[in-house]
Amino acid sequence: MKVTINDVAAQAGVSIKTVSRVINNEPSVRPATRKKVMEAVEALNYQPNLAARNLAGSRSYTIAFIYDNPNAYYVIDMQNGILEACKARGYELLIHPSNSKSATVHDELRNLVEHSKVAGLVLTPPFSETQTVIETVKSLNVDYVRIVSAAAAHDDEENCIQVDDSAAAYDITRHLLQLGHKRIGFLCGGEEHVSTHGRLDGYRRAMADAGLPIEEDLILKGEYSFDSGVTGAKTLLQSANPPTAIFASNDEMAAGALFAARLMHIEIPEQLSIVGFEDSPFSRQTWPKLTTAHQPNNEIAKCAAALVLSKARSKGATENGKAHKEAGIVREFTPELVVRDSSGPAPE
Amino acid sequence: MKVTINDVAAQAGVSIKTVSRVINNEPSVRPATRKKVMEAVEALNYQPNLAARNLAGSRSYTIAFIYDNPNAYYVIDMQNGILEACKARGYELLIHPSNSKSATVHDELRNLVEHSKVAGLVLTPPFSETQTVIETVKSLNVDYVRIVSAAAAHDDEENCIQVDDSAAAYDITRHLLQLGHKRIGFLCGGEEHVSTHGRLDGYRRAMADAGLPIEEDLILKGEYSFDSGVTGAKTLLQSANPPTAIFASNDEMAAGALFAARLMHIEIPEQLSIVGFEDSPFSRQTWPKLTTAHQPNNEIAKCAAALVLSKARSKGATENGKAHKEAGIVREFTPELVVRDSSGPAPE
DNA sequence: CCGACAAATGACAGCGTTGTCATAATGACA
DNA sequence: TGTCATTATGACAACGCTGTCATTTGTCGG
């Protein structure tokens, strides 16, 4: 029923240590021996006991996923991606919701790393972009990968999976410009998100490249929430000279903007274009369906997890500091424009 | 830095076995000794090593959360609730997305239980309501708790946390009836969900109690998705004699119905009332905001996890089959009506 | 105050793996 | 063919805890 390393060793006619070497991909095993062992492993469907590995070994077979993003879709997508990567490599995942604003973040992380002996950390925004968090994980001497908006990588690219918000926002803005819009309102996300600044930057660049003036009155602060989308859109639409299009920094805000427009009896997209960002499921569940930028969260997370695992494993296996770049790990993503029904030609 | 049971034993002046007894709440420890040990544990901030416990002990300190519900909000709420309960008792959580329709469910679960040696399972719908799954977990001789719609508990109440969909649906329907609606359309969820039948049952009872006829033409099949809400609502609204209210089986379908009404230029709630079920975040992000039934998923999950943990622990600690009902664990929930803006008086 | 019995405590052997170090096999070269 | 360096393999302890069983301590009746 329960097959241990001893069974495999017996079946292959070698010592358990040799089996251990094979399953851990250690050197100094003759190809013939390796093959014998592999066959035994296959035949018995042996799977190493994680608890024993964790206990005996110096490294652990668990990574942690840390997040403090309230967006359920985002978190689930990320989590599933990470889970896939873990499963593929026989690792376990520790889920750790947190709060980057909490004063005890440092102790919390330290405790997590030291007590649970995790092999690595995957961090998502805004947690991954918070200065105190970054400093803490660096000081903790643990492998980690931060999923961040491009600008937040700083000089830590090797530990980051970057999302180029600026480029994507540039594309979205250009889409609106090509539809003839000249006055485009911009609803910012929360200040603490680096993506907020990246998206705004993309907007500014696109406007500038089109030779259009940037009216600061059209740029409003917000916080990636439905309510802030409502408020922001109302403000823009009630102004003396309202914009013909609104670029909301995420789908939730865009849904809020849609809501506000509905309240004010403004037809979308005839009288006003609204675009979002992220392509979360409900960008297809609004009326009209949202034009947005597709962010492949699942894929991003998979790469992040694969990267942190490759770090953790290479450290264990080979001491020589080979760069050991694993194939198939993309380190930079640019969300792609998805045109749906909430954007149309500028009125008049 | 890393404090082991040996340190505690030394500090308290007892053997490690006694410390083990104390932290596991085993009998046969003199109160004075227990106190001494507790103090040492406190002083050193000792936390047992999970890997070692799992390896040495017959029981494990990990429970698994199994789900196949595509609703991210639902899953996250549940997950957070379970996580809280686990943390409070020093357990670890294994996340296991699955698919109740897959043919390999049995092997998958068997493998999970036997290989990972989990102490218990928490199952959510529709996974928890699938016959093959139920049979499998029963045969596996593992503690489990199914979160289910009341009717799915069958004769397995001791292992269920029940949600009384029927009662809640009754309340919602009565709310519409009190607003003067007489012809109420009903959009069903997926057949495989027991909640679908419970909610329909509540609707039927409320109609019957109000002395109103039940028109089968007004009851449409669907599948808890936005799209099926759109389709169902369109069908109802385009019929010769459309209803004045639509009861959608969940918020996502209700959002779909809202979408359809919008397409057909029907004013909500003036010309048509629409209600949902579940009170997921986007019931507040539609226009108008949805009248729905609040389902306290986080709380439900916390109770489910607490229940499975109390089962697992009581089995280990005391052999005598004490019922050992833990305080504060609610086993039956009835979602409560939340009136927002999508329901209003019947027209005319 | 003693023996008998129960309660409390501790010694020690695992749990299934990895790490360390000793030993054996292999291959190159004289 | 013998020697030495090198690579391959194995024996055994250790990881931090729990389970089993022996031992000690305490309690109570006589």
Q: What is the pLDDT of residue B90?
A: 85
Q: What is the pLDDT of residue B337?
A: 97
Three-state DSSP state, A231: helix
Q: What is the pLDDT of residue B303?
A: 97
Element of type H or E holding A56? helix A50-56
Q: What is the pLDDT of residue A338?
A: 97
Q: What is the pLDDT of residue A314?
A: 67
| Beta partners for residue B273, in sequence order | B245
Measured between alpha carbons, how far is residue B238 from residues B218, B241, B316, B346 in Å?
12, 8, 61, 18
Distance B30 CA to D30 C1' (A): 28
**A49-58, A134-143, A300-309 — which one is most confidently predicted on average?**
A300-309
Give this prediction's pTM. Answer: 0.90
For residue A76, which of A87, A86, A65 has the smallest C-alpha distance?
A: A65
- Of A4-18, A27-41, A312-326, the poorest mean pLDDT is in A312-326
Residues of chain B with pLDDT under 50: 316-324
Which residues of chain B does A226 touch, with a Cβ-Cβ cutoff of 8 Å? 284-285
Which residues of chain A does B92 touch, with a Cβ-Cβ cutoff of 8 Å? 94
CA-CA distance, B109 to B116, in Å (whole number)?
A: 10
Query: Is residue A304 over pLDDT 70?
Result: yes
Contact (Cβ atoms closer than 8 angstroms) between residue B247 and residue B40: no
Of all residues in chain A, the one with the smallest CA distance to B81 is: A97
Query: Is residue A332 over pLDDT 50?
Result: yes
Helix segments in B117-193, DSSP class H = 131-139, 165-178
Q: What is the pLDDT of residue A190?
A: 93
Which amino acid is it at B330?
V
For residue B140, which of B112, B179, B168 has the smallest C-alpha distance?
A: B112
| Angle B78-B81-B82 from CA coordinates, rounded to 5° | 85
Which position has the higher pLDDT, B57 or A68?
Answer: A68
Q: What is the pLDDT of residue A112?
A: 85
Which position has the higher pLDDT, A142 or B176?
Answer: B176
Subunit contact A95:B116, Cβ cutoff 8 A: no
CA-CA distance, B275 to B281, in Å (whole number)?
A: 14
Residue A220, token pair as written in the block = 């409003």
For residue A194, which of A275, A131, A256 has the smallest C-alpha distance?
A: A131
Mutation pick from B44, B75, B76, B250 vs chain A, by most beta carbons of A within 10 Å, is B76
CA-CA distance, B330 to B299, in Å (whole number)?
A: 9
Q: What is the pLDDT of residue A319?
A: 35
Contact (Cβ atoms closer than 8 angstroms) between residue A254 and residue A245: no
Subunit contact B83:A76, Cβ cutoff 8 A: no
Considering only CA atoms, name the residue closest to the C1' of nucleotide C12: B17
Q: What is the mean pLDDT of chain A?
A: 91
Closest CB from B2, B93, B263 relative to A95? B93
| Span B121-160, pLDDT tens digits | 999 999 999 999 999 999 988 899 999 999 899 889 999 9
